[in-house]
Amino acid sequence: MRKGKLVLAGVFITLSLFIIAFALELPASRKGVPGPGTWPILISLIMLFSAITVAIKSFNDKDKKPLGIAGKEQVRVYLSMISLVIYLIAMTFIGFAVSTFVMLYGFITWFSSYKWYFRVISSFAITAVIYCVFHYVLKVPFRFGVLF
């Protein structure tokens, strides 16, 4: 937990400094009305001071509670995140319906021990229902990719 908080504080300190640097280049105030940079700088300062306080506090903190981001369960989460990024890319190139079916089939196979035909049917059914509801009822256009 302690390490995690230090990393978090570090990330937000960097982010706030980055924003302040960017905001300083925006046009200045005019006729007493704050310019576009003032507000981001003000908020970044609040973020900067809070992040520094968090850093100092957790530096002195003897909290030994593990953060729990490197276990077997978490690796599974990271793999799902990567799969979803691939799904997003596949969707734009291949097409919505096909890649959705593959995504669902893949995840259900991974997460369960159902018979193959049950997995095929359920993935197909979910894809079909979502496609029909969004495409025909809600008129959302799924027009991308080479396939369906």
CA 111, CA 69: separation in Å to the nearest integer?
20
Cβ atoms of 31 and 10 within 8 Å: the answer is: no
DSSP classification of residue 138: S
* DSSP output for 63-85: -------SSHHHHHHHHHHHHHH
Which residues neighbour 52 within 8 Å (Cβ) at sequence distance 6 or greater? Answer: 9, 13
Taking the least distance from each CB to other proteins, the nearer of 60 and 141 is 141
Is 59 a binding residue for other proteins by CB under 8 A? The answer is no
Q: Return the residues of window 88-147 that contact other proteins according to CB under 8 A.
A: 88, 91-92, 100, 103-104, 107-108, 111-112, 114, 122, 126-127, 130, 134, 138-141, 144
Residues of this chain that interact with other proteins (CB under 8 A) are 1, 4-5, 8, 12, 15-16, 19, 22-23, 26-27, 31-36, 39-40, 43-44, 46-47, 50-51, 53-54, 57, 67-69, 73-74, 76-77, 80-81, 84-85, 87-88, 91-92, 100, 103-104, 107-108, 111-112, 114, 122, 126-127, 130, 134, 138-141, 144
